[in-house]
């Protein structure tokens, strides 16, 4: 199926585009009333994510309702621990929770390297249905969490401000940490390859908790494994978004990937200097800017676009859209990028 709108893919590869492509991290499932309607028809997030027809439906909603230049498959980064043998629950209004955690060599023995196509067949099926129903309108983004971020949830057992249990282990049991990190990395590579085989046109790696590591530990326990993933995936463009890892931008510039995501703390000019001209940069409007009135959203977006002008760029926010942002404001952001 030939894509009618391939702006995202051409921008990722550094090819000329008529205008800058735009999509939003967490565009599916956070802000749309149409999502909530589907969500209320099932028992919860996990059932929705595991029902391929419904996952495909909510994946396509932002394309129809917001006019974004890409769809991102509706799933979660935490499907990988589950596929490795560590199931999670999604607690209403609180977030992910793991009944069991992984903190010792004995815990490690209960886990396996996931085979993406079999262990995560429901995501693969959702991708196939989404591709068919998108019918080439826009590219489909596949994704996974970065090994460090997944490790953090598996060790901690839930979200955390500090992830101090997870960071403790990097100091007290580095060999164990590397073993688990390698199992996650191998699982993630299998999973991303299965997503690509099913039709994902680009894949993004989310390192949401990169910024809580110091520079040295980031390189040893996170960047190194992201680098393995980038080296393994050559079928489609790869985007790496390491939130808060401003200190590693020069290193990120050397990754075997096409695009680096910026959060809103990372200066644009400075990021281009550190990362270099061989990468496309994605981002990076402060998600809170969308709380402003439409005129304020418009001017904040234009200000961002001016700074990216003439450079390889995919427009996005600097992190996922916040759940209480009005879809109308998101539309102002999207329309402003499209009109620039």
Is 117 marked within a binding site?
no
What is the torsion angle, in degrees rounded to the nearest 10, for the CA atoms of residue 11, residue 248, residue 232 and residue 142? -50
Number of chain residues interacting with ligand CP3 (CB under 6 A): 22
Burial 52-85 (b: 16+ CB within 10 A, else e): bebbbbbbbbbbebbebbbbbbbbbbbbbbbbbe
77, 144, 154, 275: residue in contact with ligand CP3 (rule CB under 6 A):
77
Q: Is 312 known to sit in a ligand binding site?
A: no
320 contributes a contact to ligand CP3 by CB under 6 A: yes
In the complex with ligand CP3, which residue's Cβ is closer, 43 or 172? 43
**Which residues make Cβ contacts (< 8 Å) with residue 64, sequence separation at least 6?**
none
30 in active site: yes
Residues ≥6 apart with Cβ < 8 Å to 61? 28, 32, 34, 35
Instruction: Determine whether 36 is an active site residue.
Output: no
The residue from 96, 244, 253, 318 that contacts ligand CP3 (CB under 6 A) is 96
Q: Does 177 bind ligand CP3 (CB under 6 A)?
A: no
**Is 227 near ligand CP3 (CB under 6 A)?**
no
Under 8 Å CB-to-CB from 284, ≥6 apart: which residues?
Answer: 261, 262, 263, 264, 266, 268, 304, 316, 317, 318
For residue 312, indicate whether it is catalytic: no
Out of 6, 12, 27, 70, point to the residue binding ligand CP3 (CB under 6 A). Answer: 27
Residue 26 is a binding residue for ligand CP3 (CB under 6 A):
yes
Least separation in angstroms between CB 128 and ligand CP3: 17
CA distance 211 to 222: 11
Between helix 327-339 and helix 294-308 the angle, nearest 10°, is 40
CA distance 209 to 146: 9
Candidate list 22, 25, 102, 334; residue touching ligand CP3; CB under 6 A = 25
Note whether 210 binds ligand CP3 by CB under 6 A.
no
CB of 195 to ligand CP3, least distance (A): 12
| Strands (DSSP E) found in the chain | 71-72, 89-91, 95-97, 140-145, 202-207, 238-242, 259-261, 280-285, 313-317
CB contact set of 112 (below 8 Å; sequence gap of 6+): 84, 85, 183
The answer to whether the annotation marks 76 as part of a ligand binding site is: yes
Q: Which stretch binds ligand CP3 (CB under 6 A): 74-82, 193-201, 219-227, 329-337?
A: 74-82
Q: Which is nearer to ligand CP3, 206 or 308 (CB)?
A: 206
Tell which one of 98, 148, 176, 206 touches ligand CP3 (CB under 6 A).
Answer: 206
Known binding residue 276? Answer is no
Applying CB under 6 A, does 208 fall inside the site for ligand CP3? Answer: yes
Q: Is 165 a catalytic residue?
A: no
What HEC string does 107-133 produce?
HHHCCCCCCHHHHCHHHHHHHHHHHHH
Binding mask 133-162 for ligand CP3 (x = CB under 6 A): ----------x---------------x---
Could you tell me which of 98, 93, 103, 262 has the C-alpha nearest to residue 179?
103
Q: Which is nearer to ligand CP3, 72 or 272 (CB)?
A: 72
- Has 231 been annotated as catalytic? no
User: Would you list which residues are annotated within the binding site for substrate?
Assistant: 26-30, 76, 153, 208, 319
State the catalytic residues: 26, 30, 39, 76, 153
Could you list the residues that contact ligand CP3 (CB under 6 A)? 25-30, 39, 45, 72, 74-78, 90, 95-96, 143, 159, 206, 208, 320
């Amino acid at each position: 199926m030939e894509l009618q709108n391939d702006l995202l893919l051409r921008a990722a590869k550094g090819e000329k585009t008529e205008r800058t492509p735009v999509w939003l991290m967490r565009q599916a499932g956070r802000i749309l009333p149409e999502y909530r309607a589907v969500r209320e028809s099932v028992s919860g997030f996990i059932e929705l994510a595991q029902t391929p027809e419904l996952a495909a439906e909510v994946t396509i909603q932002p394309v129809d309702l917001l006019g974004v230049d890409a769809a991102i498959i509706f799933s979660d980064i935490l499907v990988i621990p589950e596929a490795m043998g560590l199931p999670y629950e999604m607690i209403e209004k609180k977030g992910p929770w793991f009944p069991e955690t992984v903190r010792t060599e004995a815990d490690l023995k209960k886990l396996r390297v996931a085979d993406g196509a079999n262990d995560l067949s429901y995501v693969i099926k959702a991708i196939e249905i989404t591709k068919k129903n998108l019918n080439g309108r826009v590219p489909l983004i596949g994704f996974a969490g970065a090994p460090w971020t997944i490790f953090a949830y598996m060790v901690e057992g839930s979200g955390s401000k500090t992830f101090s249990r997870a960071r403790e282990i990097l100091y007290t049991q580095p060999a164990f940490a590397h073993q688990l990190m390698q199992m996650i990395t191998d699982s993630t590579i299998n999973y991303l390859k299965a997503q690509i085989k099913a039709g994902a046109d680009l894949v993004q790696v989310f390192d949401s908790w990169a910024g809580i590591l110091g520079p040295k530990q980031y390189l040893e326990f996170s960047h190194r494994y992201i680098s393995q993933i980038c080296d393994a995936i050559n079928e489609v463009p790869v985007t790496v978004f390491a939130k808060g890892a401003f200190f590693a931008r020069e290193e990120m510039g050397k990754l075997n990937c096409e695009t680096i995501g910026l959060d809103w703390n990372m200066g644009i000019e400075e990021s281009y200097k550190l990362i270099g001209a061989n990468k496309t940069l994605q981002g990076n409007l402060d998600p809170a800017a969308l709380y402003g009135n439409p005129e304020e959203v418009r001017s904040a977006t234009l200000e961002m676009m001016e700074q990216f002008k003439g450079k390889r760029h995919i427009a996005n926010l600097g992190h996922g859209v916040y759940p209480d942002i009005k879809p109308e404001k998101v539309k102002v952001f999207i329309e402003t990028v499209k009109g620039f």
